């Protein structure tokens, strides 16, 4: 979901091109059109604070949405008149054939900001950003756990001993003890090292799960979390991921906007009288899409109404596309539930 800032006639419009080691700042006077530049090393935080505190007010500062912008956002938010997050990809597209340098990129952001054409991205509040850090780290650990298990299954297939379909650290350890004499020595060593990895990953995942339960069970997230967990297939992990990636549902005025934000909307190709749809856009958070698809599969298994809808869609578009449609529908139902302050069970009744 991209928004733009209204045209600014007075005050300073400041664009920041942020890199890991230094930032380039373009300060544009909206009234006169004069522009000057400043370059500051990112490690000089006191200098950064002093520079922005001494800027004349009113001013509006735009930071490009690179993957490590958060530290600067938290630093500047208390001292700037207004702070916005610029969509870096869209800003580059609007720059056209403009030469790409740090000064030109910063000037491009400042000029788009002054003209009211700056495409902005959503910067989550501090408590949402903190929750997002936890859920994304959990997703990373879960992926690492799956990779270790995939390697374990590969080893078992090499010796023609597939073993159990689902494994955790304790189950793999029991399997090794039972099959040690039947396995080559090098594979025993590899499986024992895999046990060590699984024990550590499972301990860390359990620690994060406890923290997520405590976070959603009490505090500002509880009302929304309870509403989301009334949906089939949504428990603490899925609810926490959805909240962390979306934040406030009410910032989306229409249900189509939230499905576009998640990247679950199909791409449309239109020419003359011909219109066709393609794959989903995948423009949003992959963690959000993962959570919604996981919830959709569980809902298909445990909710008769959702299963009936999925079976109808499967006949027309196939199982995988049908589950994407269910995930998109569940996100829209969640948006409607939050808008109406109801839950899934009450709405279904």
What's the pLDDT score for residue 329? 93
Q: Is the pLDDT of residue 97 over 50?
A: yes
| 204 and 99 in a common domain | no
- The pLDDT, as a whole number, for residue 273 is 65
Same domain, 51 and 81: yes
Residue 141 CA to residue 5 CA, distance in Å, equals: 38
For the segment 5-13, the average pLDDT, to the nearest whole number, is 72
Which of residues 203, 220, 237 is at a domain's end? Answer: 220
Q: Are 114 and 14 in contact (CB under 8 A)?
A: no
CATH of the domain at 107: 3.30.420.140
Region 268-288 average pLDDT: 75
Q: How many residues does the chain have?
A: 349
What pLDDT does 276 receive?
A: 65
The lowest-confidence range among 5-14, 68-77, 199-208, 231-240 is 5-14
Rama region for 215: left / alpha / beta (φ>0; ψ in -120 to 50; rest): alpha
pLDDT of residue 182: 85
Question: What is the number of domains present in the chain?
Answer: 3
Instruction: Kindly list the strands in the beta sheet with 22-29, ordered across the sheet, starting from the edge strand earlier in the chain.
Output: 3-4, 119-121, 82-86, 59-64, 12-18, 22-29, 35-41
Predicted pLDDT at 3: 57
Domain ends where: 184, 199, 220?
220
Q: pLDDT at position 347, please?
A: 42
Which of 65, 87, 121 finishes a domain? Answer: 121
Q: Which parts of the chain are beta strand (E)?
A: 3-4, 12-18, 22-29, 35-41, 59-64, 82-86, 119-121, 266-271, 274-280
Report strand pairing: 12-18 vs 59-64.
Answer: parallel
Opening angle at CA 64, ends 98 and 288, nearest 5: 120
48/313 Cα distance (integer angstroms): 55
Mean pLDDT of 52-63: 92
Mean pLDDT, residues 127-148: 95
Cis peptide before 58 (omega within 30 of 0): yes
In three-state secondary structure terms, 16 is strand
Q: Which of 49, 14, 220 is nearest to 126 (CA)?
A: 220
Q: 69-78, 272-281, 307-316, 325-334: lowest mean pLDDT where?
A: 272-281
Average pLDDT over residues 113-130: 91
User: What is the rounded distance in angstroms from the CA atom of residue 337 to the CA atom of residue 230?
Assistant: 10
pLDDT at residue 270, rounded to an integer: 64
Tell me how far apart the alpha carbons of residues 4 and 113 are, in angstroms, rounded to a whole number: 8
Q: Specify the pLDDT at position 275.
A: 63
Span of 22-26, 108-112, 152-156, 345-349 with lowest mean pLDDT: 345-349
Residue 326 reports pLDDT greater than 90? yes
User: In this structure, are 145 and 64 located in the same domain?
Assistant: no
326/246 same-domain check? yes
Same domain, 112 and 21: yes
Report, as an integer, the average pLDDT of 86-99. 87
Do 241 and 295 lie in one domain? The reply is: yes
Q: In this model, does residue 85 exceed pLDDT 90? A: yes
pLDDT recorded at residue 175? 87
pLDDT in tens, 149-200: 999 999 888 888 777 767 889 888 988 888 888 888 888 999 999 999 999 9
SS3 61: strand
- Judge whether residue 100 has pLDDT over 90: no
List, for residues 202-238, the tens digit of each pLDDT value. Answer: 999 999 999 999 999 888 999 999 999 999 999 999 9
In this prediction the pTM is 0.86
Residue 326 vs residues 100, 150, 265: alpha-carbon distances, Å: 42, 28, 12
pLDDT exceeds 70 at position 106: yes
- Percent residues over pLDDT 90 in the chain: 63
156 and 242 share one domain:
no
3-state secondary structure of 340: helix
d(CA 113, CA 60): 8
Indicate whether 100 and 213 sit together in one domain: no
pLDDT at res. 346: 43
**Residue 219, φ and ψ in degrees, nearest 5:** 115, -165
Give the closest residue to 205 by CA, choosing from 174, 256, 168, 176: 168
The boundaries of the domain holding residue 44 are 3-121
| Residues 212 and 239 reside in one and the same domain | no
Q: Please check whether residues 117 and 130 belong to one and the same domain.
A: no
Q: Are residues 230 and 306 in the same domain?
A: yes
Domain co-membership, 188 together with 230:
no
């Amino acid at each position: 979901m991209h928004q733009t800032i209204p045209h600014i006639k007075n005050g300073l419009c400041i664009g920041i091109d942020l890199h890991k080691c230094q930032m380039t700042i373009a300060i544009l006077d909206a009234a006169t059109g004069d522009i000057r530049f400043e370059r500051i090393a990112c490690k000089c935080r006191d200098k950064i604070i002093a520079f922005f505190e001494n800027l004349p007010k009113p001013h509006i500062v735009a930071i490009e949405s690179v993957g490590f912008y958060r530290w600067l956002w938290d630093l500047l938010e208390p001292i700037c008149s207004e702070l916005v997050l610029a969509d870096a990809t869209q800003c580059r597209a609007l720059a056209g054939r403009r030469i790409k340098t740090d000064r030109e990129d910063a000037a491009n952001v400042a000029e788009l900001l002054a003209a009211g054409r700056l495409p902005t991205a959503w910067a989550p509040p501090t408590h949402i950003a903190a929750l997002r850090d936890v859920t994304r780290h959990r997703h990373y650990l879960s992926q690492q756990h799956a990779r270790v298990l995939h390697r374990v299954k590969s080893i078992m297939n090499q010796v023609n001993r597939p073993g159990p379909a689902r494994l955790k650290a304790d189950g793999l350890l029991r399997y090794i003890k039972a099959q040690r004499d039947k396995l080559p020595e090098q594979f025993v060593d590899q499986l024992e090292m895999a046990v060590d990895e699984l024990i550590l990953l499972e301990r860390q995942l359990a620690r994060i799960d406890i923290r997520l339960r405590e976070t959603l069970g009490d505090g500002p997230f509880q009302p929304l979390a309870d509403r989301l967990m009334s949906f089939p297939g949504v428990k603490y992990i899925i609810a926490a991921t959805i909240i962390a990636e979306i934040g406030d549902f009410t910032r989306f005025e229409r249900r189509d906007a939230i499905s576009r934000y998640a990247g679950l909307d199909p791409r449309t190709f239109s020419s003359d009288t011909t219109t066709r749809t393609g794959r989903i856009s995948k423009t949003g958070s992959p963690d959000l899409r993962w959570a919604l698809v996981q919830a959709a599969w569980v809902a298909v298994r445990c909710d008769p109404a959702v299963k009936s809808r999925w079976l109808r869609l499967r006949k027309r578009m196939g199982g995988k596309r049908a589950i994407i449609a269910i995930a998109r529908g569940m996100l829209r139902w969640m948006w409607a539930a939050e808008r109406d302050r109801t839950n899934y069970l009450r709405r279904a009744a």
